[in-house]
Structure 1
Amino acid sequence: MIFTRRLRDGVRRGEITCSVRIWMRPHVKVGNRYCMEEGEVEVDSVLPITLADITPELARESGFKGVVDLLKVAKHGKGENVYLVRFHYVPPRSRVPAARGVPARRRG
């Protein structure tokens, strides 16, 4: 998962633990880890939601000032399906990093 620059510190501090994404289909899988510049995020859940489910509280929980601010960033490509992705930050450890936005490892 890739986050806008202004959200990355909040993700690393554990203050941001969810993200609303508008995709054609989910681009992440539960249990997979995705690299950031420092550390990784591990996806805990991916839930389909509607635009009506995006409340001001959810927008703030996702690191945005409000719903409009979130929606400016949430859409990726031609997708129209809305997903709530919950995750947690995993601090860096000494290993060779995977490419950005690519799963670091798969559980299975």
Structure 2
Amino acid sequence: MMLTRVVAEGVARGEVTLAFRRWATCRVSAGRTFLSVAGVIVIDAVERIDPATITTEDAHAAGARRVEDVLATLRGTAGDPVFRITLSYGGPDPRHATADDAALTADDVAGIGAALDRLDARSARGPWTRETLRLIEAGPGTRAVDLAASLGVEKDTLKRDIRKLRNLGLTLSLDVGYALSPRGAAWLRAPQEGLPGS
């Protein structure tokens, strides 16, 4: 389930507690969590509803001003069911605790290097991880489309690749583009500091 930055941050502040989706079949279930740009989001309840029952209070709880604004966001076929999803904040993205850790041991450096080697080995186009990290370091905030062009890949491919780097705690997503996390920057510096694993 995807949330816009505004909505996700509203959930994190406790201001947004509902979301509405029109799906042919329900894609979420109560008790599950997912990651958003604002951190962990908890799905507290899911209920199939008649969209005609959405109230102004519901709209406000979903971060909208009017019921019409909520209805305008519903995608899918008009005959598909609508779901009322109750949300709460589950805490910061646990990957950021890793991303913020710039105090790398030699084992950390070697482990990250090995993880990058595995990503490179599985890529049909050959090694890409270190070049991508260095381009992000050189141009934080570069638009994804421009970064993709520099690497000679499609934008969607770039975004998938950067998610893999983010899962290792090496990059951060900005409002526009990306930046190295403290951990990513420390790893790139590590070979110059005499640590293994580059």
5+ long unaligned stretches in structure 1:
100-108
Task: Work out the CA distance in 2 between the residues paired with 1:49 and 1:83.
Answer: 6
Q: 1:64 is matched with which residue?
A: 64
The alpha-carbon deviation at position 82 of structure 1 amounts to 0.9
Q: What does the per-residue CA deviation read over 1:3-40, in whole Å, with 9 as the maximum and x for residues that have no partner? A: 12332221110111111111111111111111102311
SS at match of 2:14: coil
Kindly indicate which of the two structures has a greater share of residues assigned to helix: 2
5+ long unaligned stretches in structure 2:
99-162, 164-198
8 A contact 2:8–2:37 mirrored in 1: no
SS at match of 2:52: helix
Q: 2:10 is matched with which residue?
A: 10
Kindly indicate which of the two structures has a greater share of residues assigned to strand: 1
Q: 1:89 is matched with which residue?
A: 89
Q: What does the per-residue CA deviation read over 1:27-84, in whole Å, with 9 as the maximum and x for residues that have no partner? A: 1111111110231111111101101211111111111010111111132x33620111
Q: 1:105 is matched with which residue?
A: none
**Which has the higher mean CA deviation after the structures are superposed, 53-62 or 85-94?**
85-94
Aligned residue pair count: 96
Task: Map 1:6-85 onto structure 2 (within 5 A).
Answer: 6-75=6-75, 77-78=76-77, 80-85=80-85
Identity of aligned residues (%): 33
List, as ranges, runs of 4+ consecutive aligned residues in structure 1 with deviation greater than 3 Å. 93-96
TM-score of the aligned structures, taking structure 2 as reference length? 0.44
Tell which has more relative contact order, 1 or 2 (C-alpha 8 A, sep 6+).
1
